[in-house]
Structure 1
Amino acid sequence: MSDLFRETFVGSILNIISKGRICSYPEQRPGFRAPEHCCPDWQATHPDTYRASASSSSSDQTAVDIKTGGKGRNAEKEQTPDQRDSRVEEAPDPRTDIQPTRSTPADAEKGWDPNLVTWYSPDDPENARNWSSAKKAFVTSQLCLLTFSVYIGSSIYSAGSEDLATEFGISQIAATLGLTTFVLGYGVGPMFLSPLSEIPALGRMWIYIITLAIFVVLQVPTVLCNNLGALLPLRFIAGFIGSPCLATAGGSIADMYIPQKRAYAMGIWSVASVCGPVFGPLLGGFAVDAKNWRWTIWIILWLSGGTLAILIFTLPETSATNILLKRASRLRKLTGNDKLQTQGEIDHSRMTVREIAMGTLVRPFVLTFREPVVFLLNLYTALLYGLLYLWFESFPITFTENHGFNKGEEGLAFLGIFIGSLLTYFLFSLYSYFYLEKEFEQDGMYIVPEKRLPAAFVGGISLTICLFWFGWTSGPSIPWIVPIIGSAFFGIGSFLLYQGVLNYLEDAYPRYAASVIAGNGFFRSCLGAGFPLFANAMFKNLGGPGGVAWGSTLVGLLAAMMIPIPWVFWKYGARIRKLSKYAD
């Protein structure tokens, strides 16, 4: 775990300040054996050091490992000359660890570039894919904590909206704008911030820590503001700046797990994501009952601040391109060979400012609106996400007005969704182990994307069941436990639907996964931000038991109409992807 600390925010700072004496890397320690492939000049001037620490590994195998990024001889076949010579507007395929090389004329016969810095061996311990299962699980738990501490910022606010409206002398709809602007912020944010984590010089860890630190600071003026004009911009900026974890965490998980095993980590991260909307009303409800709406923001401050204090010591860098870039810098300093570069540095040195802007800022929008597969599935998940926030507004009517719950007890009613999600995760893990893993090819690196979609079939049906069940059991004459049991189907449905759709998009667009997932979050948040504004009026004006039955019926019918969408892509998805220049 000392290697893990070395890659954290504090570990990186200590390494820089001490000039490599603290939290040192192998290249910064005495007696380090410079790799044969990238330091020929250094070896020639330090033969005794080189021979003293050299291993007996085959030089032929070393050449193959360097050429293929540590994946062996078979990996050489996976790239054509066109792919090796292409400009890096097209990202490396994350289904393999291959980093293409550009041979120099002197090394054309060897087939590899002696100045290309890559993994030292297939089991290089600095490669996140080679970490132990315990280390991967620990880092995944840190990503879950980060996601929860930001995601809770939306729903916890809603518990205090009535109290805020009274204090500021505004309408309930105006008070709801504090929720809307936050959700909109963390939908727009990933479109600009998440692609930055793909830049080799930045990596993921620094983006997480810096944005979380700003998020924490923003809570102070938010909790102290006394008018809506100050509150709304602060809420939007907080959502915007806190957003990278909501999209980039999936990229961090992909850094550590091969696609065959990725679903387990993505599943538990999805459960953590559900915890935000579920536990927000619970914590916020008791806080408002005990104090006032400002205490919901204090909870966000304490939770995110505590998370920041933990993560600066425990969250390491996982991006292969960033880890290799730092290795290249150390090797250049050690050897004096300024020609040593990683593939990421080579790629970015050949890109214009326009190409970099296209890759980091424009591409998420291009993929979202020009790719039919991405657009329709984003629209599907966005509508369901909007329905989630729409449906949440029926909880106060059902449990406060119909069953006499206070704010804190109303928050407890959301636990049915969490329990449904948790149980579904275990069942989904069994499904993945006994069925889905067997569908992978190429040593667990590739699956036909459409085989991810059956989970979404079940998810769409479960969501519809939930909405009808909850709506028609929400009246005061029916025990409160019955609608809570029905709400568990929402946890089942949303978990399975997002597992199916998001994994499908990542597998269909592996080179642009960060951009695709950012676009999905943008779509979802835009609808999630708008629906709560008219939700309360809709449920109260449609009539029925407590005003909820017919409102839930309407929402349920909309969800039912969307059930066929993943079935369409199950049948025609492969054909549609062949027409795309971005999909694989």
Structure 2
Amino acid sequence: MTQLTNSSSTSSTAVILRDNSTQSLESSNSNINSNKISTAATSSPIYVEFDPLDDLDEHGHSDNPLHWSTARKKLILIATIGFCFLISGCSSAFSQGQAQMVSDLDSTDLLGELALGMYIVGYSISPPLLAPLSEELGRNAMYQISYTLYFLLFLPIALARNMATVVVCRFLQGAFASAGTSLVSGTISDVMAAGRAKDTVVALFAFSAVFAMGLLPIPFGWLIVYDARSGWRLIQFIQMGMAGVWAVFLFAVLRETRPHVILLRKAAALARSTHLPYTSKIQKPALGQLLRVSCCRPLEMLVREPIITFFSAWLALAWSFYFAIIGSISHVFGTLYDMNQGQLAAIYTSLVVGVSVSLLFNFCVQDKLYARKLDIRGPEARLYAAMLIGPLLPIGCFIYGWTSYSYLPFVAPCVGLAVISCALFTIYLAATQYVMDAYGPFAASGVASLSIVRNLCAGFWPLFTNTFFDNVGFQLAPTIIGCAAVVFSLTSYVLFFLGARIRSTSRFAQHLACSDDNGDDKDKTPSQPTQSTESV
């Protein structure tokens, strides 16, 4: 293996040559005399790798994101997960001013529900495009572009004079906001090695999304009580201010984390200074192929992979029910208990409690079971919590429906809401981590399949929620939802006992098994460029 070192006053760069001969090159900041290097060695590309772990820059940092300092990683993770928190809360905070907006714009309740749901629909459209673009431009650039557009779109919504403007801008805002979920998951993979620490960060990342949907509506509900005429516009301006403040922190701490992009930029800098054919050790397909993979593979896995199909259906149902229940809070509690908007917003506290209990259960029980049973069960060890807590989804629906009477205290249906929230987050986290473990390098496409179906279904449910509850009844509507949830709750049990057998027939899983079998051979030939076909 050829090891060529380019040393400057600040750092050294390790590169790999194809001809497997050994030589060393010392250079300063001045131009290198290329005649000192053999023609045979320089006729082929020089593949750039990350610097050795003990080779740090003047700030004490490695160029490999996995080896960055803990402080830098924490700042980046806090900034990006905070982005996820803001964009998730935006989906439900809008509902607090929805009735006032419909009245102010002289529109209909149906269009108001459409404006609420289009944000979630936008979520499902852009992730397949963000992955290949992050390969070309880098994650940092995509964060800056998507976050800026998400931030700016608050303005036309706040100043809208008709519902069409609100609906279109909500859709576009949701499309750009989806970077807060799709790109953040990739950033976590870039800076965190597999292990318990990464599992904890992934759990907190998922928690931030569901937690924000329950938390942010609470203060904005009271804002509507304070400003009964244009409070819905003030909600948009306040969220714009929150996003602006967070943007300062986000852009200040963000660094490029995509390995391929880092190595490409490193190779380009070396090529300019040395006039040698440096290139990235990690090679990627062309943009067209990346687009085909990002757009087609999730749909292929959705149709051809039973595990993805079942989990997508289960999550789509659970997510749709969750948004249906959230959408019914103002209608049900307002009708039964004659609450004002601030009191209705306080009901969302039950959702916050439920998801917090679920997170604690994951840390205290699920993680320990996973560590003990991983060698025996494999990826199916991720499903213990889903089997134990998942059945609470229909139970929560039954509690919510059967206690929705004006002569019962409002706390009773709130208990049902907390149980629903607890079960939903458990299912969501278990499904995501299971797919990540089971499909390895294809996990991004598998998770994308779950996301597309889940958000499409959840985005259109608000259109029918109030009509459904009015026509069927406040008691029967959640009961019907609960009965359907009972059937899909069996998914975790089926996959726990039959998941390994199902995966054995999977083309993607077989490819992963072959890769594992050949892992030692790959490790012995680091001079060959590796190709990344899966974008996270």
- TM-score past 0.5 threshold: yes
Q: Does 1:557 align with 2:483?
A: yes
- Say which structure is richer in strand: 2
46, 66, 79: which is aligned to 1:142? 79
RMSD of aligned Cα (Å): 3.0
2:34 alignment partner in structure 1: none
1:250–1:114 CA distance, 2 compared to 1 (3 A): same
Q: Does 1:389 align with 2:334?
A: no
2:178 alignment partner in structure 1: 243
1:488 alignment partner in structure 2: 418
Question: What are the within-5 Å matches in structure 2 for residues 80-159 of structure 1?
Answer: 115-121=46-52, 125-159=62-96
How far apart, in 1, do the equivalents of 2:97 and 2:147 lie?
Answer: 23
495, 502, 507: which is aligned to 1:581? 507
Cα offset for 1:123? Answer: 6.4
Question: What are the within-5 Å matches in structure 2 for residues 193-208 of structure 1?
Answer: 193-197=130-134, 199=135, 201-208=136-143
1:194–1:289 CA distance, 2 compared to 1 (3 A): farther
Contact 1:458 1:493 in 2 (8 A): no
Contact 2:6 2:27 in 1 (8 A): no
Normalising by structure 1, what TM-score?
0.76
Question: What are the within-5 Å matches in structure 2 for residues 252-271 of structure 1?
Answer: 252-261=187-196, 262-271=198-207
2:365 alignment partner in structure 1: 431
How far apart, in 2, do the equivalents of 1:502 and 1:245 lie?
Answer: 16
Cα offset for 1:47? Answer: 9.2
Contact 2:392 2:419 in 1 (8 A): yes
261, 274, 287: which is aligned to 1:335? 274
Q: Does 1:33 align with 2:12?
A: yes
Aligned length: 485
1:330–1:468 CA distance, 2 compared to 1 (3 A): same
Q: Does 1:174 align with 2:153?
A: no
How far apart, in 2, do the equivalents of 1:161 and 1:217 lie?
Answer: 20
2:33 alignment partner in structure 1: none
1:536 alignment partner in structure 2: 466
- DSSP 3-state at the match of 2:126: helix
2:442 alignment partner in structure 1: 512
1:233–1:205 CA distance, 2 compared to 1 (3 A): same
Cα offset for 1:428? Answer: 1.3
Give 2:454's aligned amino acid.
R
321, 326, 338: which is aligned to 2:260? 321
Give 1:171's aligned amino acid.
T
How far apart, in 2, do the equivalents of 1:47 and 1:294 lie?
Answer: 59
Contact 1:468 1:556 in 2 (8 A): yes
Cα offset for 1:168? Answer: 2.2
How far apart, in 2, do the equivalents of 1:183 and 1:28 lie?
Answer: 50
Cα offset for 1:389? Answer: 0.9
Instruction: State which drifts further: 26-35 or 402-411.
Output: 26-35
Contact 2:327 2:465 in 1 (8 A): yes
How far apart, in 2, do the equivalents of 1:427 and 1:150 lie?
Answer: 25
- DSSP 3-state at the match of 1:116: strand
Contact 2:66 2:190 in 1 (8 A): yes
How far apart, in 2, do the equivalents of 1:134 and 1:474 lie?
Answer: 49
1:361 alignment partner in structure 2: 295
Cα offset for 1:501? Answer: 0.4
Q: Which runs of 5+ in 1 are unaligned?
A: 1-25, 50-103, 108-112
How far apart, in 2, do the equivalents of 1:386 and 1:516 lie?
Answer: 19
- DSSP 3-state at the match of 1:380: helix
1:420 alignment partner in structure 2: 354
Cα offset for 1:132? Answer: 4.1
Contact 1:417 1:488 in 2 (8 A): yes
196, 209, 221: which is aligned to 2:156? 221
Question: What are the within-5 Å matches in structure 2 for residues 366-381 of structure 1?
Answer: 366-381=300-315
Cα offset for 1:461? Answer: 1.0
Give 1:274's aligned amino acid.
V
2:36 alignment partner in structure 1: none
Question: What are the within-5 Å matches in structure 2 for residues 280-295 of structure 1?
Answer: 280-291=216-227, 292=230, 293-295=232-234
Normalising by structure 2, what TM-score?
0.83
Q: After superposition, what is the alpha-carbon deviation per residue over 1:105-128, rounded to whole angstroms, capped at 9, x for unaligned?
A: 979xxxxx9822222235673323
How far apart, in 1, do the equivalents of 2:215 and 2:502 lie?
Answer: 40
How far apart, in 2, do the equivalents of 1:182 and 1:567 lie?
Answer: 33
How far apart, in 2, do the equivalents of 1:203 and 1:28 lie?
Answer: 26
Contact 2:369 2:384 in 1 (8 A): no
Cα offset for 1:519? Answer: 2.3
1:187 alignment partner in structure 2: 124
Contact 1:466 1:486 in 2 (8 A): yes
Give 1:258's aligned amino acid.
A
1:33–1:391 CA distance, 2 compared to 1 (3 A): closer
Q: After superposition, what is the alpha-carbon deviation per residue over 1:132-159, rounded to whole angstroms, capped at 9, x for unaligned?
A: 4444333222222101111222211111
1:188–1:27 CA distance, 2 compared to 1 (3 A): farther
Contact 1:34 1:43 in 2 (8 A): no
Contact 1:42 1:335 in 2 (8 A): no
384, 398, 409: which is aligned to 2:343? 409
494, 498, 506: which is aligned to 1:572? 498
How far apart, in 2, do the equivalents of 1:311 and 1:430 lie?
Answer: 31
1:469–1:331 CA distance, 2 compared to 1 (3 A): same
- DSSP 3-state at the match of 1:509: helix
1:93 alignment partner in structure 2: none
How far apart, in 2, do the equivalents of 1:319 and 1:217 lie?
Answer: 26
How far apart, in 2, do the equivalents of 1:206 and 1:379 lie?
Answer: 34
1:302–1:44 CA distance, 2 compared to 1 (3 A): closer
1:30–1:527 CA distance, 2 compared to 1 (3 A): same
How far apart, in 2, do the equivalents of 1:381 and 1:525 lie?
Answer: 9
Contact 1:390 1:532 in 2 (8 A): yes
Cα offset for 1:516? Answer: 2.3
2:210 alignment partner in structure 1: 274
How far apart, in 2, do the equivalents of 1:459 and 1:126 lie?
Answer: 42
Contact 2:132 2:290 in 1 (8 A): no
How far apart, in 2, do the equivalents of 1:48 and 1:320 lie?
Answer: 25
Q: After superposition, what is the alpha-carbon deviation per residue over 1:353-411, rounded to whole angstroms, capped at 9, x for unaligned?
A: 64233223332332333322212211210111000111112211343222232212211
Q: After superposition, what is the alpha-carbon deviation per residue over 1:527-560, rounded to whole angstroms, capped at 9, x for unaligned?
A: 11111111111212223xxxx2211111111111
- DSSP 3-state at the match of 2:46: coil
Give 1:486's aligned amino acid.
G
Q: After superposition, what is the alpha-carbon deviation per residue over 1:155-185, rounded to whole angstroms, capped at 9, x for unaligned?
A: 1111122112212222211211101211111
- DSSP 3-state at the match of 1:208: helix
